[in-house]
Structure 1
């Protein structure tokens, strides 16, 4: 896992911030283009692509950007979300002690419907893509109509894209990608690695788009970690490709917003979850305005103002 020194990150941005951003974006884009090329080469045998990854790993942006590159290579591509195949609340058997639905469990996925749709897509039959309403915790079965043709590629992103409970019966139809955030940002006293970096992404996104407090997001990330250990990480080796989504300038973008969100938190809470140490590291980072990030950058999955339709 690569370690990024705070001083080095600041120096890159001090010299030429736009060039530093461009270089970071190119590393991510080049990795996706290489995967897209191989996907296109085997599309006749495997017209479906699963993208799996833990929460905050940027599965959605990766799916959308991958679809764009595949289309540039001459294939029609569709990006779907496995979340839309969740069971209704009263049908799901995976429940936390407090009665909350455990969406980290593959038992929440309507495996029968998803399997039927994958088979139909492979046979070029029409499907109607469902839409899941997280507020009402129920699914609308009326949605976009999709009929695949020869050469078309369907990308399905979701945390369970490698789990055999979901994919085992369709391995002959599907290629698999594991999306991850593999990096550590360090200074003389503090180290922020993959799990905490993903948590910071979620804090950004949840505060902006879901109205969640930092306390709620941090508590939920603890539950997510338990599910990841059981349902995601044991199957990483089943992936055909692994893509690292960390951009070495992204913490500079998040810096001011995160510090503002941390400011009113109770001291005991910050100490308990290590947010005080994270805050001190962020204070040493140079702030980079969002305008430096391209409109289709994955950082905008967490900050907003993206050209991509999520």
Structure 2
């Protein structure tokens, strides 16, 4: 049937109607999720798309006709199917399907949490906020995450041969906060964690590899002194004392400040960094001595039943707010560097995400309502004449779906 629709090259028709009319239309179609969503929209108009008599609302960009959609594949998987589409680099080729069972299970678990909280979509989240249920929602969601972290710590504590916890994940997934919270749970389970920052093993600045533009590539695996890192970690595993380095980012050189460490029977190292899951980083360490954790903000919330929230949008908004708060960076600067960040993730993180002992989803079902207050002002500050303005405008439109919520109830140790 899909091939028939493509061959017919049927146009997608767009019409603009009043928001109240859209609410009534979706009620008639029994699309109650969209009816609820539009009750909270402040815009006066809504764009409705139709195809061969079927009408719906869609978030994002629409092709002009079905003829453009000829490159796709369907793959039966678990209790449903996957729609496979081409990537941007090769828009006429569908990549072969590679099962990712651990990622799938993590998403399934997060969807169960969303259903348990009765917040499957943005309309339901807005209902909870408007009905004064936000504080309870925050506490329950945070409790679910803390239980998950405790379960991971318990699993690690049971395996006495685990000496190296390797943590990695894409930008703004909450790696540092997760590492701290995991360390606290490990202490509660009788282990003695010690944080190790891979960044302290950077090679000296002039030895850093460069990218195709001649700029230092700090995300390259070979920006790290692999030999020194492995020598130190092996000594620690064998019970020897090691003076751990500190990298001075101003001078671009490694320094030693008599930070000695020697591991006892209950000691364990918590190592967090972009290459943590790549065995080439820790080539001298036995696999059985490592416990690998992949962390990412895998957004479980949907706009409605037909529109998902892209995980990358959630992380980009997190990154903008963090950069503005802690680094004084503008939203425009963060948007400009985001494609480079994404390329680094594709090269250095995602290829290793299934080779882990466990995954942790750091997405919080309430977070976009809280981040809205911080993200909107800096997005409005993006220069209208800049190339980043189109993306800023898209994100502002996206955030308009959400009712804002105060951050006072968010715990101080939250990943958010």
Per the TM alignment, residue 217 of structure 1 is displaced from its structure 2 partner at its CA by 1.3
Separation of aligned partners in 2, 1:143 and 1:197: 41
RMSD: 2.1
Q: 1:67 to 1:92 in 2, by over 3 A?
A: same
SS of 1:169's partner is coil
Structure ID, larger Rg: 2
Moved more, 179-188 or 224-233: 179-188
Separation of aligned partners in 2, 1:96 and 1:190: 37
SS of 2:280's partner is helix
Separation of aligned partners in 2, 1:164 and 1:291: 41
Partner of 2:373: 256
Which of 120, 131, 134 lines up with 1:17 in the alignment?
134
Per the TM alignment, residue 190 of structure 1 is displaced from its structure 2 partner at its CA by 6.9
Which of 162, 173, 186 lines up with 2:289 in the alignment?
173
Given that 1:81 and 1:158 are in contact with CA atoms closer than 8 Å, whether structure 2 keeps it comes out as yes
TM, length-normalised to structure 1: 0.88
- Report which structure shows greater RCO (CA 8 Å, sep ≥6): 1
1:193 aligns with 2:329: no
Partner of 2:169: 53
Separation of aligned partners in 1, 2:258 and 2:326: 23
Alignment of 1:233-248 (within 5 A): 233-248=350-365
Query: Which ranges of structure 1 fall in alignment gaps of 5 or more residues?
Result: 300-310
Q: Residue deviations 1:22-59, cap 9 Å, x none?
A: 111112111111111111111x2121110011111111
Query: Which ranges of structure 2 fall in alignment gaps of 5 or more residues?
Result: 1-106, 115-119
Greater helix percent: which structure? 1
Partner of 1:308: none
Partner of 2:326: 209
Separation of aligned partners in 2, 1:135 and 1:7: 48
Given that 1:84 and 1:131 are in contact with CA atoms closer than 8 Å, whether structure 2 keeps it comes out as yes
1:229 aligns with 2:346: yes
1:146 aligns with 2:261: yes
Partner of 2:57: none
Aligned length: 296
TM, length-normalised to structure 2: 0.67
